[in-house]
Chains A and B, each alone.
Chain A
Amino acid sequence: MAMSILRQPIRTSLKRTYSTTRPFVPPAALRDIDNAPRQRTKPRPESPTFYTARSPYYDQLNSLESAIQYSRSALTKFQLLPLPAFARDSLPHLHPVWMDKREMGDALSSKLTTSRYRRVTQLLNELNDHRRIAHAAGCEDLGEGIESIVKLFEKKNQEAILARGKRKPVKFDKYGRSYTLGKRKTSAARVWIIPIAKPSAVPQGQSQTPEEQQPDKLDLTLTGLEDVFSDPKAKPTIPVTPATVLVNNVPLAHYFPIPADRERVIRPLKLTGLLGAYNVFAIVRGGGVSGQSGAVAHGIAKGLAAHEPAIEMILRKAKLMRRDPRMVERKKTGMAKARKRYTWVKR
């Protein structure tokens, strides 16, 4: 049925008239005959790869190969190819994210098999390598030219894919507050950390001199105790800023009655010496008491690292930046609990 439908267009379109002998021309009309060779009516195919029957794919492949040849010769002229090992090592690493097979097939307007896709990506990797060398050496024109070709085959969400698995930077709001999440067992804590404004250190009843107007600097010549013993009404020179830690809108001491939990929450601030520097506001849900304290501590550690990147290493060494992966192990069949086995019976 399908074949008979196909046969009809063949009959009409490819029908040819064969004339094996020349047609008769009366002698009077001979001089009007155009003796030029018969011009072909149909045009010839346009693409040089027409006879491969996969013209779009091979045309694209050929153009990519031409681009590679051109960039290679240009880089050779600029003394950038072939690169010795030490120069190649100093190049930045390549992280290309090419389109997948289906998208690439749409871009090349031909269905791609795996081997063809691999071939295209191989050429693109070489072109990308040339781009990297051109950019590193400062040949911006060449680099931009190569980029215009390579960009057509890169995935649209390339940055998002490359950023997967990396820690997202903590954003501060307009008041300078950080918002971080902390987790432990099944508890989750949302922690806001606000830096405390430094007070001007003007103690009452003391005359001001230019040296004493620096509140951050400690006066090491005199200890505070001497001042206290000499003058009972004198206040200490070191300014003290009390920090507030609120958990679920409740002060720390009220929410965590057990001292161990309180210590766990304060530990990040103690280790880094930032006890009076930041106010903490946390909302924690799920789990039990110590789980919640661990979650708040995790959130505080991440927030402090965002405010002061220098102390991140201290917290990382103390394993406070790490989300504790220990969770309650499930009960298994044939056992009383996760690990507890039933009493062994000999018979």
Chain B
Amino acid sequence: MASSGLRPWLAATRCLKKTALHPSRQPVRYAVTSFSNNEPLKSVEDWRRFQEDRAEFKMLMEYMGQYGSSQTRDNVFQPHHSLHKPLAPSEATLSALIAAGAHLGHSKSLMNPNFMPYAYGVRAGITIIDLDHTLPLLRRAANLVRAIVSRDGTVVFVGTRPDLRVTVRKAAERIGPQAFHVGERWLPGTLTNKLQMFGPEVSKEQRIAPDLAIFLNPLSNMHAIRECAIQHVPTIGIVDTNVDPRIVMYPIPANDEHPRTAELIAGILSVAGREGRLIHEQETQRRAQANERFKRGREKNAAKVSTVHD
């Protein structure tokens, strides 16, 4: 047993004996506090009363909330906000990236030498990514997504991990009918073996090759990246420190492991895509109106010419 003089940090372990850690002596912080007795609920009236009790308790908490902290569930950060309330490309800041853990790379020994321009340094055995490079590249990628979607292009979000599945789905839904998502394994041959994958009718009648592919974990989807290169599809990808950034056309150097980073980046790109969709809709409206005016003008001219001739 170490004496407290030589190793003072061990004094705490000496104080906490096993008996003190026994559950019966610990304060009961985890008990369910309810204002009604915990009898089994049999009839619909019992359930009604149960619901009303809960609602009353919540109202009481809300009422008392005005006397406490001004932070509420709505104005404080919640983990689901990165998915449901994404940032716009103009709101992307260095602090947002750091908060999402985008600067944390992989181990120093696994660093790809081609990643050197985007690395800031090494700390605690891992490579830190330089976010001063990440931010403009992220903005560039957002501009690209906006431009492609505004010209009626199709975008595919690829995130083949279980935690990325919901992210890519939400991002695609945000952009609208021009966006697609692949949340599970990308089947090899989707773009290069269209006939077998989709059948002769679909491969003849629909445009299969997308206009942009966004990879949230490019290292696991090398087959998909190769297919995009063969089919001349531009690619955006989140490249981590163990990945060569040249595999995708528009790399975004960031952490590819943390779901929060992926949610942040996919959110920014999807908001840019949504803006592009609005631009596209406005353009089509404007062009339709211009066509209408042109046609009417032509008809008028034709009428004038005929009257002159007569």
B-binding residues in A (CB < 8 A): 6, 9-10, 13-14, 36-37, 40, 42-46, 48-54, 58, 62, 78-80, 84-87, 89-90, 136-138
A13 to B200, Cβ gap below 8 A?
A: yes
Q: Which of B51, B172, B178, B182 is within 8 Å of A44, CB to CB?
A: B178
Residue of B nearest to A133 (CB): B47
Query: Is B140's CB within 8 Å of the partner chain A?
Result: no
Residue of A nearest to B204 (CB): A13
Q: Which of A6, A44, A53, A137 is within 8 Å of B207, CB to CB?
A: A44
B169 nearest CB across to chain A (Å): 7
B38 to A53, Cβ gap below 8 A?
A: no
B168 nearest CB across to chain A (Å): 10
A87 to B203, Cβ gap below 8 A?
A: no
Known: A40-B207, A42-B206, A54-B187. 16 other contacts (CB 8 A): A44-B177, A44-B207, A45-B154, A45-B180, A45-B206, A48-B177, A50-B180, A51-B186, A53-B190, A53-B198, A78-B51, A79-B54, A85-B32, A86-B40, A90-B46, A137-B44
Interface SS of A by simple majority: loop
Query: Is B58's CB within 8 Å of the partner chain A?
Result: yes
B182 to A52, Cβ gap below 8 A?
A: yes
Residue of B nearest to A42 (CB): B207
Query: Is B42's CB within 8 Å of the partner chain A?
Result: yes
Residue of A nearest to B53 (CB): A79
A36 to B287, Cβ gap below 8 A?
A: yes
Q: Which residues from chain A contact B203 at a C-beta distance below 8 Å?
A: 13-14
Interface SS of B by simple majority: mixed
A42 to B206, CA, bound (A): 5
Interface string of B156-199 (1 = CB under 8 A from A): 10100000000001001100011111111011001000010110
A10 to B193, CA, bound (A): 11
Given the known A-B contacts A45-B206, A86-B39, are A6 and B44 also in contact in the complex, defined by CB atoms under 8 Å?
A: no
A207 to B191, CA, bound (A): 106
Those 5 A-B pairs whose CB atoms lie nearest each other, nearest first: A90-B40, A79-B54, A86-B38, A137-B47, A138-B44
B195 to A10, Cβ gap below 8 A?
A: yes
A84 to B47, CA, bound (A): 12
A62 to B156, CA, bound (A): 17
A129 nearest CB across to chain B (Å): 15
A45 to B182, CA, bound (A): 14
Given the known A-B contacts A62-B169, A137-B47, are A52 and B187 also in contact in the complex, defined by CB atoms under 8 Å?
A: yes
Residue of A nearest to B205 (CB): A42
A79 to B34, CA, bound (A): 13
B181 to A49, Cβ gap below 8 A?
A: yes
Q: Which residues from chain A contact B179 at a C-beta distance below 8 Å?
A: 48
B200 to A51, Cβ gap below 8 A?
A: no
* In the complex, chain B residues 29-55 whose Cβ is within 8 Å of any chain A Cβ: 32, 34, 38-42, 44, 46-48, 50-51, 54-55
Q: Which residues from chain A contact B42 at a C-beta distance below 8 Å?
A: 90
A78 to B39, CA, bound (A): 20
Q: Which residues from chain B contact A48 at a C-beta distance below 8 Å?
A: 169, 172-173, 177, 179-181
Q: Which of B58, B158, B200, B204 is within 8 Å of A79, CB to CB?
A: B58
Q: Which residues from chain B contact A90 at a C-beta distance below 8 Å?
A: 40-42, 46
Q: Which of A6, A40, A138 is within 8 Å of B48, CB to CB?
A: A138
